Structure 1
Amino acid sequence: MRSFKYSGVQQRCMDNYFGNKHLIGDSAYTIQKCVMVPYKDNGHLSPQETHFNHVLSRSRIIVERAIGLLKGRWRFLLDKLPMRRTDLIPFYIIACTVLHNVCLLRGDEISYPILVMDDVEDQGPLEITREQKEEGVCKRDEIKSNLYSLRNV
C-alpha cells in the first residue's frame, strides 16, 4: 500500500490510463474503478460476494508468490536499493524482472523462495473521492455477477 501511495500509480487510476482494466488489492486498499478490493466480510456476504472474494484472493496469491520469487532471487529488493537516483528505481526493478524471467526460461529456478513480512508502518491511501469509490463498487458488482454466472461453465 505504501509503494502504491507514493509511486504515482494511484493518481493514475483513471480510465485514460486503465480503460476497463484494473489492479487487484487486499482490504487495505480503497476501492476505485481501477482498483478492485474484496467485499468486507461482515458475516452476511451473499454467495456471489463470497465467490468474488475467493477468485480475487486466488489472483492476489499468484501475484504475491511471483513477487516473493523475485525478491528471493534478487535479495537486495528486500530492503533498500543501492541507488541514489530514485528516478531510476523503476528501471532497476524492471531489469531485475526481465533477468528473473530469463533465469526461469533457462531452467534456473529457486528451490526455497524467501518471503518477508512487511514491517513498514502503513501510511494509508491517498484520499479517494466518493464518486471514485462508487464507480469501483459498480464495477466490482458487475464483475461479481459475471464471475458467479461463469462458475460452473
Structure 2
Amino acid sequence: MQGLAIRDARERDLDFVTGLITDDAVAVARDTVTGEEQAYQREAFEAIAADPCHRLLVAELHGERAGSFQLSFIPGVAVGGAWRGQIEFVRVASPLRGRGIGEAMMRWGIEECRQRGCYLVQLTSDHQRPAAHRFYERLGFTASHAGFKLRL
C-alpha cells in the first residue's frame, strides 16, 4: 500500500496502541483500561520489546499512526519442530478503516512469518466479529480449529 510503513512500536506509541481498544466496541466490553491496567500494559510492552520472538507493531500512513498488531513467533516440537506465527490485536483506527490498511498489515505480518521460516500463521478472532472473519478468509485463512480460552 502506497504510503504505509510498518515499524516496531516505541514506548511513546503505547497510548496510541492501547487507545485502539476504546475505538472498538467488542474490545471495550472485555478490555477496560484503568490506571492499574496501564502499568501492566507498560510492563507487557517492555517484555515484548525485550523478546526477539515478539513484536508490537505500528502501521503509519504517510507518517501518521494508523493501526497496530502484535506478531509472535512460537517454536514447537510438533510438525517436525515447526515454528508458528501468531498475529494478535489487529486494529486500525476507526477513521481509517476500509482503506486497505488492515490487509497491508496482515500481508506484512504473513511475509515476516514466511521470512522466519514459520510453518503457518495463526490467529484468533472473537465470535462477535463476522466481518473480521470474512476479512481473514479473504486473506486465505481457514477456520480449521475451534479455539478455547480459560480466563484465570
TM > 0.5 fold call? no
Task: Between the two structures, name the one with larger relative contact order (CA 8 Å, sep ≥ 6).
Answer: 1
Structure richer in helix, relative to its length: 1
In our comparison, the structure showing a higher alpha carbon Rg is 1
Structure richer in strand, relative to its length: 2
